[in-house]
Amino acid sequence: MARNRKNAEGKPKSRARRRFLIGSTVAAGGLFVGWQLLGGSAPGDPATLLEPGADEAALNAWVKIARDGTVTIAVPRSEMGQGIHTALPMILAEELDADFDRVEIIDAKVDRIYVNDVMLPEGFPFGPHDESFIARQARATGRWLSGVIAVQATGGSTSVRAGWQPMREAGAMAREMLKQAAATRLGTPVASLKTERGEVVDPASGKRIGYGELAAEAAAVKLDAVPPLRDPSQFRIIGQPKQRLDIPAKVDGTATFGIDVRLPDMLFAAVKHPPVVGASVKRFDPAQVQRMPGVVKTVAVPGGIAVIADSTWRAKQALAALDIEYEPGETPDFSTDGLFASYEAALSEDGFGYQDDGEAVEILEAAGSNVLEMTYRTPFLAHAPMEPMNCTARIVDDRLEVWAPTQAPSVSRWIAAGQADMDEDKVTVNVTYLGGGFGRRGEPDFIRQAVACAMAVRGRGVQVVWSREEDIRQDTYRPATLAHFRVTTDSEGYPTAWANKLVGPSTSGQATMRYIPFGSDSGPDRTTVDGAAWLPYAIPNMRVEHILSRVPVRVGFWRSVGHSQNAFYSEAVIDELAHAAGKDPYAYRMHLLADSPRYARVLETVARMADWDAGAPAGRARGIALHESFGSIVAQVAEVSLDGSEPRVHRVWCAVDAGIVINPDTIVAQMQGGIVFGLTAALYGEITFADGEPQQSNFPDYEMIRLSTMPTIETEIIASTEAPGGAGEPGTPPIAPAVTNALFALTGQRVRDLPLSRHDWTTTGS
């Protein structure tokens, strides 16, 4: 399968008014306007974006067709193992009625036509099912703003959700253009024609014309409107298991990850950052290492020092020999214990209320001593992708080219342009495969550093590669947070009032401040309460609030973001309430889901899969959890035992309702991957601080689940007609509470802080 791994630079900047109009139409679903009505020179011009060869014709900004019938689809999202380079082409090929065996893919260039208009609105402080006027207006504004600032990024499990409509429209329009070209050639009304697997068919005459024969004529067809989309009952590609299009190259070694990029006469750079939080570089002497073998230059880069040499190894050796003096920051004694003590103290404050249904506060105040109180907490976590942070950059004359495993090519372009003090139209960003992302590769730090190195050795490419130690110690961590619950129940033990006060930093706020100089972390950040507010359970009086706590540590988006912590908190508390009421945890949840049939169906499915009523084998116990995130509902049952003093997870059953499923194989794989990711964090994951320094630096002290302790995972996808949900992240949140709930059933120990490895599991029996 052919792949073009190289993106060219985007279009020149347009005037403000034109930028506003184009951004508005794209954000409003203006696929059609974006590539046809604005004319050939506008952003979204197929000839510029797809660069069709002599035997190819570009029908729109997403698809070109070769004379031999090969269909090439531009994919505007980064492939980091989540299967999006197969799922999005499947959507377009479905509407195009293409032969999927003849589909190839290229990376889309950086262009506003490929905007992701779902990510930004999901950060607004409204529940996912809030259809009030103000919520709908806010989302519309967010979509418009996404177009204005041209957000082309991969994250938040939004790729399919953001691509569902435009990819379908692109395929439908190309199909209609091919039919009109065939109608002109055959002298037949277009309404009498149909399409089948890459051909236009005239049922009356039996004539069949391949798409390749019609492509050049079809490219000249102008449409007045987007044609009707196919009814799901007609789907023959969507919903069917398909081999992923990125797998062959990854198997035969031809796939190019960021760390694989090689340029003629290129150099390599190693980077070192201050070891203490908030510190900065005060002094270093390049002369110390300048005569070491292979060393070209030592330079200050954003965040630290880089040594540029003719190999990564030589750069690392020189960097280790360099004497660097650091300026201490404002919090040299920062520690994990001190942080959580400050969180506890902050509980006396009022936070920003995201959900305030009924009279939860008043009921709890009146309940006096009849209130259950629980405090949960989770630690900082690193992303730790297998491919460490890296980026390659080269400046030739007045142009900058970047090769990066990035989740945010549009952000990378403006960050690179700012670092090099260039206009964006002088910058090209080439997106490589990502060796794991999990949110970390949406950050700009490694992009800035590579550009700074390229500026120091103009004319030669420089590849910056972080060591594993720098990767873990200088991460943008999942924030450490604390959750305090106060709950009252009725005579049957079901919650009547529920108050959850969360304490922690703003991930979105911090990230915004790293992207743009005028960003702020003071506003409300919905990610802080995702998974804590708007639960599906029938709790009549509920308040969820967040108290902002600024921390000196960099925090960022981590797979499933706030859901990863808040699902643990909420589902463990539900389990506590069930046991306090003397009720089965599954039956207890089902009672609270009486008015939520979609959620109940998912929970029923996983209980059936695990044969919940039969119970676990001797020496084992089971726990259950249910959670919705990113438009998908996932329920899991975990079966655990104790292996000496270590928890052991033997089996995990997973049921998922992800709406309309594109590629079921990908859904299963992502549920498995999300479970492994979340289970690793629940069992072992923590970044701790003492005297301002992170105490973990590599896999020996930042443990991961091994093959020998990997549980058997069984996944069932629930058929659904709902809009497609996310898949990359929803498998992660339920696994921690499922496991801790199971451990409570086994040992009688209720875990309220993670990881599990810090607890003493020698006591058994409930």
Each residue's pLDDT tens digit, 559-587: 999 999 999 999 999 999 999 999 999 99
Instruction: Kindly tell me the sign of the dihedral angle through the C-alpha atoms of 15, 20, 21, 24.
Output: positive
Q: What pLDDT was estimated at residue 764?
A: 53
- Mapped onto helix, strand or coil, the DSSP state of residue 654 is strand
| Boundary of a domain, candidates 465, 487, 517 | 465
Strand partners of residue 355:
544
Is the separation of the CB atoms in 755 and 740 below 8 Å?
A: no
Report if residue 400 sits inside a domain. Answer: no
Q: Say which residue the tokens 């729109």 belong to.
A: 60
* Residue 677 zone, left/alpha/beta (φ > 0; ψ -120 to 50; rest): alpha
Residues 670 and 616 in one domain: yes
Each residue's pLDDT tens digit, 243-298: 999 999 999 999 999 999 999 999 999 999 999 999 999 999 999 999 999 999 99
pLDDT at 323 over 80: yes
Q: H helices within 611-709, ranges in order?
A: 664-683
Residues 244 and 264 in one domain: no
Q: How far apart are CA 624 and CA 612, in angstroms?
A: 9
Report if residue 389 sits inside a domain. Answer: no
Which residues are within 8 A (CB) of 593 and not within 5 positions of it... i.e. 6 or more apart?
Answer: 536, 537, 538, 599, 600, 603
Residues 569 and 422 in one domain: no
Residues 348 and 411 in one domain: no
pLDDT at 22 over 70: no
Q: Find the mean pLDDT for residues 185-213.
A: 97
Instruction: Please give the share of the chain, as a percent, with pLDDT higher than 70.
Output: 94
Is the separation of the CB atoms in 679 and 705 below 8 Å?
A: yes
- Number of Cβ atoms within 10 Å of the Cβ of 619: 10
Q: Using 50, 70 and 90 to split pLDDT, how confident is the model at 69?
A: very high
Report if residue 253 sits inside a domain. Answer: no
Q: What pLDDT was estimated at residue 671?
A: 98
Which CATH number do you get for residue 701? Answer: 3.30.365.10
Strand partners of residue 715:
654
Each residue's pLDDT tens digit, 487-496: 999 999 999 9
Q: Find the mean pLDDT for residues 236-249.
A: 96
**What backbone torsions phi and psi does residue 108 show, to the nearest 5 degrees?**
-70, 145
Residues 489 and 430 in one domain: no
The separation between CA 337 and the C-alpha centre of its own chain, rounded to angstroms, equals 30
Report if residue 397 sits inside a domain. Answer: no
Residues 634 and 573 in one domain: yes
Give the pairing type, strands 207-210 and 689-690. Answer: unpaired
Report if residue 390 sits inside a domain. Answer: no
Short-list 96, 130, 154, CA closest to 726: 154
Is the separation of the CB atoms in 657 and 633 below 8 Å?
A: yes
| Boundary of a domain, candidates 248, 276, 301 | 248
Q: Using 50, 70 and 90 to split pLDDT, how confident is the model at 515?
A: confident
Q: Find the mean pLDDT for residues 727-741.
A: 98
Tally: H helices and E strands in the chain: 20, 28
Is the separation of the CB atoms in 409 and 152 below 8 Å?
A: yes
| Boundary of a domain, candidates 205, 226, 248 | 248
Domain assignment of residue 687, given as a range: 336-381+477-758
Q: Find the mean pLDDT for residues 168-188.
A: 97
Q: What pLDDT was estimated at residue 37?
A: 31
Q: What pLDDT was estimated at residue 763?
A: 55
Question: Helices 735-747 and 562-580, interaxial angle, to 10°?
Answer: 30
pLDDT at 686 over 70: yes
- Please name the amino acid found at residue 72: T
pLDDT at 40 over 60: no
Q: Find the mean pLDDT for residues 163-174.
A: 96
Residues 446 and 562 in one domain: no
Least confident of 122-136, 312-326, 499-513, 529-543: 122-136
Which residues are within 8 A (CB) of 517 and not within 5 positions of it... i.e. 6 or more apart?
Answer: none
Residues 438 and 481 in one domain: no
Residues 377 and 439 in one domain: no
Residues 574 and 717 in one domain: yes
Report if residue 347 sits inside a domain. Answer: yes
Structural domains counted in the chain: 3
Each residue's pLDDT tens digit, 378-392: 999 999 999 999 999
Q: How far apart are CA 590 and CA 583, in angstroms?
A: 11
Within 13 A of 561's CA, how many CA atoms are on the CB side? 25
Q: Using 50, 70 and 90 to split pLDDT, how confident is the model at 43?
A: low
Q: Say which residue the tokens 């898949």 belong to.
A: 727
Which CATH number do you get for residue 443? Answer: 3.90.1170
Q: Find the mean pLDDT for residues 169-198.
A: 97
Residues 271 and 231 in one domain: no
Q: What pLDDT was estimated at residue 518?
A: 73
Mean confidence (pLDDT) of the chain: 93
Q: What's 83-130 look like in SS3?
A: CHHHHHHHHHHHHHCCCHHHEEEEECCCCHHHCCCCCCHHHCCCCCCC
Short-list 663, 745, 749, CA closest to 100: 663
Report if residue 764 sits inside a domain. Answer: no
Residues 617 and 670 in one domain: yes
Q: How far apart are CA 86 and CA 65, in angstroms?
A: 18
Report if residue 396 sits inside a domain. Answer: no
